[in-house]
Amino acid sequence: MSWKKWIVALSTVVFSTQFSPANAGSYSSCDTGSDCGFSFCDSDPCEGWSIYADYLYWRPRKCDLDYAITYIENGSELQEAFATGLSGICPSYDSGFRIGILKAFGDLDFGVHYTWFRSKDGSSINNVGEDFLILPTKIGSASLFVTDGIQLAASDYKIELNQVDVELGYHLELSDCLAARLFSGFRYANIKQTQDSVYSSNINDQFAESSLNQVDVIHQKADLDFYGLYVGNKASYKICDCFDFFGGLSLGIGVGEVSQDFDHKGKSIGGTDYTQADLVNESCWKSIAVLDLNVGITFPLCNVCCTDLAFSVGYEFHQWFNLGGFTSLSRTVDSEGEAAGRGLVSSNCCDLGFDGLFVRLSAAF
């Protein structure tokens, strides 16, 4: 099988795309006689420029966002504890954007792309009027400032993504209606994650403003600066003149500087100011991999003398591997109802993903 047939097969199976110019292919022979767009002059894009703007509706996929265990005591002499639930944060969908510009040079194209995304979510649990007790998962019970029992546990998670891709692509028309694009590029990404957890002895005085109450406050941070290369393939299949199906697959690998912070402070009964407990700062360089997938459909809008407009909608998925998780304490409950284990450990769950919808408006001129 020739190399070109291999590319056709791969493109058909993967049905893939990354970033591509609005005028990815003319498909001049792929015409069933129907015309779904509007044309005011019969001309292709003149200078090979393409710009686009995406609205992103993504959800972060992150494990290790638990903050409390609920448990009950059976009333025996040993006061054995039975865990009844694990409380954590489930990130929701938030908005972001992506913009890009590309320049075609025959079958080659060069582009720069920028992605911006922010998300913030929170969760809380209290045992007012309930028969269960609360243990923290971010610190051990022996380290708690709250000695009278936790009445309220709450946690917030925030993530920020800034990403720049500089990319070179090679365009192939594989058949009358099928086009492929091989691409490779350099990626820089800055990802900031924070989780702030509070354990309070009084639901009505969360941060222990009164000296009669107690509180533990945990601040965790995991930042990444990533530098890497990626390669991928995209394919688009034209259905008459009405729309294109597209999809994409790329894999990147690089190195990143990961920094982790853990800050624990609190107030005891009679205290008016916070007392510092554990404070850990660490950083390291590590290898990181990234997988990007997307599929969607493009509708041409019109051609107005050298300007092609198009509207696209689709789904995309991005997965970061070996990213580095939050630094925290052991999160298990032993037979005495205590958080088992002592000392700071790095989380074993350290991957991060994003998935959701994108809506694109692109123009070629």
Q: Are 161 and 354 in contact (CB under 8 A)?
A: yes
| β pairing state of 81-88 and 66-73 | antiparallel
Pick from 10-14, 97-101, 241-245, 264-268 the range whose average pLDDT is largest. 97-101
- What are residue 23's phi and psi, to 5 degrees? -100, 55
> How would you class 287 by CB atoms within 10 Å of its CB: exposed for 0-12, middle for 13-18, buried for 19 or more?
exposed
Q: Give the CA distances from residue 32 to residues 38, 54, 75, 305, in Å, rounded to whole numbers and listed in that order.
A: 16, 30, 78, 23
Confidence band (pLDDT; 50, 70, 90) for 304? low
As separate numbers, helices (DSSP H) first and strands (DSSP E) second, the chain gives: 1, 18
Tell me, what's the pLDDT at 34?
44
For the chain, the average pLDDT equals: 81
Q: For 2-15, how does the pLDDT look when each residue is reduced to its tens digit (9 = 90+)?
A: 444 433 443 433 33
* The residue to which tokens 């190195």 are assigned: 255
**Rounded CA gap, 196 and 153, in Å?**
11
Q: Which amino acid is at 222?
A: A
Please say whether the dihedral angle defined by the alpha carbons of residues 145, 150, 210 and 217, taken in this order, is positive or negative. positive
Per-residue confidence at 108, pLDDT binned at 50, 70, 90? very high
Within a domain: residue 140? no
Hey, is 184 helix, strand or coil? strand
- pLDDT at position 25 is 45
Residue of 147, 142, 124, 121 whose CA lies nearest to 67 = 124
Q: What is the CA radius of gyration of the chain?
A: 27
Domain that holds residue 165: 3-64+94-130+154-326+341-364
Are 30 and 238 spatial neighbours (Cβ–Cβ below 8 Å)?
A: yes
Phi, psi of 11 (to 5 degrees): -65, -40
43 vs 55: CA distance, rounded Å? 29
Whole-number Cα distances in Å, 270 to 84, 207, 273: 33, 13, 9
Q: What is the pLDDT of residue 63?
A: 77
CA separation, residue 40 to residues 206, 292, 302, 309, 356 (Å): 65, 37, 8, 13, 36
Q: Is residue 351, in this structure, part of any structural domain at all? A: yes
- The distance in angstroms from the start CA to the end CA of the chain is 37
Residue 228, pLDDT > 80, answer yes
Question: 54-97 pLDDT, tens per residue?
Answer: 999 999 998 778 899 888 876 554 344 555 678 889 999 999 99
Any idea what the Cα angle at residue 279 is, between residues 278 and 285, rounded to 5°?
Answer: 130
pLDDT band at 19; cut points 50, 70, 90? low
What is the rounded distance in angstroms from the CA atom of residue 169 to the CA atom of residue 181?
6
**Main-chain phi, psi angles of 269, to 5 degrees:** -60, 130
Q: Does any domain span residue 143? A: no
What's the farthest any 2 CA atoms get from each other in the chain? 88
- Is 138 domain-assigned? no
Instruction: Provide the strand spans (E) within 44-107.
Output: 49-62, 66-73, 81-88, 94-105
Distance between CA atoms of residues 29 and 41, nearest Å: 19
CA gap 158, 342 in Å, rounded = 27
* Selected residue with higher pLDDT from 175 and 19: 175
d(CA 154, CA 206): 9
276 within a domain of the structure (yes/no): yes
Residue 334 covered by a domain = no
39 inside domain: yes
Residues 6+ apart with CB under 8 A from 77: none
Asked if residue 91 lies in contact with residue 51, where contact means CB atoms within 8 angstroms, the answer is no
Q: What is the pTM of this model?
A: 0.82
User: 137 lies in a domain?
Assistant: no
Any bridge partners for residue 139, and if so which?
none
Q: Is the pLDDT of residue 31 over 60?
A: no
In this prediction, residue 9 carries a pLDDT of: 41
Domain count, the chain: 1
CATH number at residue 21: 2.40.160.20
Give the DSSP H/E element, type plus range, for residue 311: strand 308-321
